[in-house]
């Protein structure tokens, strides 16, 4: 299979995208920014915007779809129902401050400025305003914040936020079938909840089954294969009822938990998926996303500016205030910085909306551009001092008052 322009072989194209995205991603990560920025820029540099070395085509689109499936499946595995249910009250408050209120304000502002707002602009707002669980979970792990309640509340809020964002996107893509979609989705969520409840109720029997399975030398292969197959089946069911397969992969991942397969096996599966994603699917997906980037027109840039300004100023301020009030001993600044994490979920929403014809190349590019801007802005607020270990050391030194707001 050949790529156009310089007739670059697809294997060389993949190699080039992976190499540059991993290098640039590592550089940005060392500078304290999400690696997704460098991975997107790799595609922008190699793509039609600058070098014309690799151009988007049917093959890169197919690779992007495969990468997207594994990326969302892992996001689902990390988004456990237990985390969400245990922290649903405070998590819902953060969801309102970090996403729902800023999104409504954005829609209102665009309507007041331009007199109307179309579905493409709503999708732009959703994809730019939505915090990303994959980026935020990395930051929480890096700062060891999942050891304290505040970290788990933030994670719960992002799970709720991303589910709302995926459902909103799915409804906009197939608005004519919105009642069927919402009904089917509610039924599926109830079934997921009932299944999860029963698995937890009979956890000792479920775990015993997987313990026996682990005695088999090929147990990990069987479990890993079952997870992927279940994700594909549920994704296909979602597509049949008109809902994006992304939600199917997400919910398939949610069902997998330590109660179902045990801590050890879950750790193995999560690490395996994580390593495959980190080294291949994630850099490939984001670099391919960058290939489609073109410099937005003045109109899209103006809309993007409004969305970014409200997301940063209103969303950031609300997160700061709620962080100070509800997240002690964690800081308002840290809450704001972490919930400002943008990346996978927003670009996933923009990608599926572009392929569905809801947004055009200009709107898609504006969404990517905004993701980079917001990630850079908020990343500067996340400090090592937000780590609980640092807090303990700081307290011992008698300097805790200098760090807290």
Distance CA 289, CA 287 (A): 5
What is the average per-residue pLDDT within 142-170?
A: 82
* 8 A C-beta contact, residue 379 and residue 337: yes
Based on C-alpha coordinates, what's the Rg of the chain?
21
Alpha carbons 92 and 156: distance in angstroms, whole number: 8
246 closest CA partner among 231, 229, 225:
231
CA distances 217 to 211, 222, 239, Å, are: 12, 10, 35
What is the pLDDT at residue 133? 77
DSSP letter string over 152-192? HHHHHHHHHHHHHHHHHHHHHHTGGGHHHHHHHHHHHHHHH
Nearest to 328 by CA among 175, 151, 86, 110: 151
Residue, of 271 and 175, whose pLDDT is higher? 271
What is the average pLDDT across 302-311? 95
Look up residue 185 and give its two tokens: 């989705």
CB 73 within 8 A of CB 231: yes
Q: Which has the minimum average pLDDT: 92-101, 108-117, 226-235, 276-285?
A: 226-235
User: Which residue's entry shows tokens 């992304």?
Assistant: 246
Distance CA(323)–CA(336), nearest Å, equals 7
Per-residue pLDDT for 388 more than 70? no
User: CA–CA distance from 358 to each of 55, 120, 171, 271 (Å)?
Assistant: 22, 5, 11, 35
Q: Examine the pLDDT at 274 and tell me if it is beyond 90.
A: no
Question: What is the rounded CA–CA span in Å between residue 46 and residue 54?
Answer: 6
**35 is written with which tokens?**
């690696």
Q: What is the pLDDT of residues 41-52, one digit of tens each?
A: 999 999 998 999
Instruction: Read off the pLDDT of residues 46-75 as tens digits, 9 standing for 90 and up.
Output: 999 899 998 888 888 889 889 888 888 887
User: Is pTM, for the whole model, over 0.75?
Assistant: yes
Does pLDDT of 148 surpass 50? yes
Neighbours of 263 (CB within 10 A): 11
The average pLDDT across 220-228 equals: 75
For residue 112, pLDDT beyond 90: yes
Q: How many CB atoms lie within 10 A of CB 16?
A: 18
In the chain, the domains with their CATH numbers are: 70-279+296-403 (1.20.1530.20)
CA distances from 7 to 12, 201, 293 (A): 10, 58, 20
CA quadruple 133, 136, 141, 146: dihedral sign: negative
Q: What is the DSSP letter of 343?
A: S
Burial class for 116, CB neighbours closer than 10 Å (0-12, 13-18, 19+): exposed
């Amino acid at each position: 299979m050949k790529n156009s322009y310089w007739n670059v072989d697809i294997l060389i194209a993949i190699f080039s995208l992976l190499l540059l995205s991993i290098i640039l991603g590592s550089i940005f990560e060392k500078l304290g920014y999400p690696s997704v920025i460098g991975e997107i820029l790799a595609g922008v540099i190699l793509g039609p915007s600058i070098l014309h070395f690799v151009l988007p085509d049917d093959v890169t689109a197919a690779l992007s779809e495969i990468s997207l499936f594994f990326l969302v499946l892992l996001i689902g595995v990390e988004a456990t129902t237990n985390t969400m249910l245990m922290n649903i009250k405070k998590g819902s408050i953060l969801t309102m401050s970090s996403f729902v209120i800023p999104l409504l304000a954005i829609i209102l502002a665009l309507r007041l400025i331009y007199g109307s707002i179309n579905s493409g602009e709503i999708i732009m707002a959703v994809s730019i305003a939505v915090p990303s669980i994959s980026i935020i979970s990395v930051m929480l792990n890096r700062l060891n914040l999942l050891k304290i309640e505040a970290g788990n509340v933030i994670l719960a809020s992002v799970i709720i936020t991303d589910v709302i964002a995926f459902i909103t996107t799915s409804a906009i893509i197939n608005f004519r079938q919105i009642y069927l979609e919402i009904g089917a989705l509610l039924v599926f969520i109830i079934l997921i909840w009932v299944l999860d409840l029963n698995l937890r109720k009979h956890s000792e029997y479920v775990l015993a089954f997987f313990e026996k399975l682990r005695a088999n030398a090929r147990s990990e292969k069987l479990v890993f294969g079952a997870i992927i197959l279940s994700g594909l089946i549920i994704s296909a069911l979602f597509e049949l009822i008109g809902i994006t397969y992304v939600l199917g992969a997400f919910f398939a991942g949610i069902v997998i938990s330590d109660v179902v397969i045990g801590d050890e096996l879950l750790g193995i599966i999560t690490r395996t998926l994580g390593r495959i994603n980190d080294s291949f699917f994630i850099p490939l997906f984001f670099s391919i996303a960058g290939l489609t980037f073109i410099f937005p027109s003045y109109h899209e840039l103006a809309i993007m500016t409004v969305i970014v300004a409200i997301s940063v100023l209103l969303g950031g301020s609300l997160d700061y205030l709620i962080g100070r009030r509800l997240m002690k001993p964690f800081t308002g600044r840290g809450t704001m910085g972490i919930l400002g994490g943008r990346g996978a979920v927003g670009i996933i929403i923009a990608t599926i909306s572009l392929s569905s014809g809801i947004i055009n190349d200009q709107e898609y590019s504006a969404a990517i551009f905004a993701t980079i801007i917001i990630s850079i802005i908020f990343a500067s607020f996340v400090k090592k001092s937000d780590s609980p270990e640092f807090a303990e050391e700081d307290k011992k030194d008698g300097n805790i008052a200098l760090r807290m707001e």
